[in-house]
Amino acid sequence: MLPAITLGCWHNFGRHESSLGGSLSEADYHENCRRILFESFDHGITHFDLANNYGPPPGSAEERVGRILRDDFASHRDELIISTKAGYVMWPGPYGDWGSRKYLLASLDASLKRLKLDYVDIFYHHRPDMNTPLEESMGALDQAVKSGKAIYAAISNYRGPRTAEAMATCEKNHFARPILHQARYSMLDRWVEGDLLPVTEPLGMGVICFSPLAQGQLTDKYLKGIPTDSRAASGVGFLKPEHLTDDRLSRIRRLNDLARERGQTLAQMALAWVLRKPTVTSALIGASRPEQIRENVEAVKGPKLSDAELDRIEAILKS
């Protein structure tokens, strides 16, 4: 029972001097973060998604969101779904990365301290670890749930076959089953369609897609090139200028034309597109200012994509 749109707190909730809001004072930057969370909550986005390494620097997003949860949302805790993850590098040494019981459970304890919470609603293993037995990683998630430090277990970035193995491991060992899979999915990155969704659907496993706007490519931000204040130009994140080829920008502009015909922004149509599948539970968005929240929630209020529009999108993407 997640909202159709989830707020991801990755790049825009870390330390003000290290993020895209570096030109703001700490007080102004923190106020902007508060307003983003307020705007989200007021528009029905009750799921805030984090990870131990979100910032920058790692841990700082949890610290900031934890401060806002304590100061402004304490009376609304039971109306919120708060998720966090562990799996990527977090601290030096052999026990601060991947998927051992030592790392996952120690990281969860540290996340709870930063978030100032007694428990999170969802705790993910952030990425598969081929050097740690699934019994150990899934057993750690099981312990997190049974200890009361997480209500639900989840996984992220697992391919379809590994997801099936993880679920079978939980069944065999009577572990708490992961109820949600967080995977990258957008018009420009569709690997889940043939790999993951055929596995999660028969298992009754929810899917929440991250990067549904392809790091901002499926917005109006890059229609006229690469702005100097954009993520692609800043070096923050995974989107690089070389990804925005002439061919890709041409397709994005044609998608934008279709969105305008539908009375939507490109971002709204891109979100409606990933949510068209009943196997997709929620789409995870980022926001650097409150106005973006208002725009994105309109995606779930617009008309459903018709078969003719879906065919046109396919033709554009394959051109």
Please give the helix or strand (H or E) that residue 295 lies within, else none: helix 290-297
Dump pLDDT digits (tens) for 273-297: 999 999 999 999 999 999 999 999 9
Residues with Cβ within 8 Å of residue 252, at least 6 apart in sequence = 217, 218, 222, 223, 266
On whether the CB atoms of residues 293 and 39 are closer than 8 A, the answer is yes
How do strand 150-156 and strand 282-285 relate by DSSP bridges? unpaired
| Cβ neighbours of residue 132 closer than 8 Å, sequence gap 6 or more | 98, 99, 100
**Do residues 208 and 180 touch, judged by C-beta distance below 8 A?**
yes
Helix, strand and coil percent figures for the chain, each rounded to 5: 45, 15, 40
**Other CB atoms closer than 10 Å to residue 185's CB: what's the count?**
26
Identify the segments of the chain with pLDDT beneath 70.
18-22, 227-238, 241
The DSSP 8-state label assigned to residue 129 in this structure reads: -
Q: If we measure between CA atoms, which residue out of 171, 188, 207 comes closest to residue 266? A: 188
Encoding tokens for residue 143? 């312990």
pTM confidence score: 0.94
CA dist list (Å): 274 to 6, 21, 147, 284: 13, 29, 35, 10
DSSP character string of 206-242:
EEEEE-TTTTTTTSSTTTTS--TTSHHHHT-SS--GG
The residue ranges of every structural domain in the chain are: 5-318
CATH topology for 5-318 is TIM Barrel (3.20.20)
- Amino acid 233: pLDDT: 59
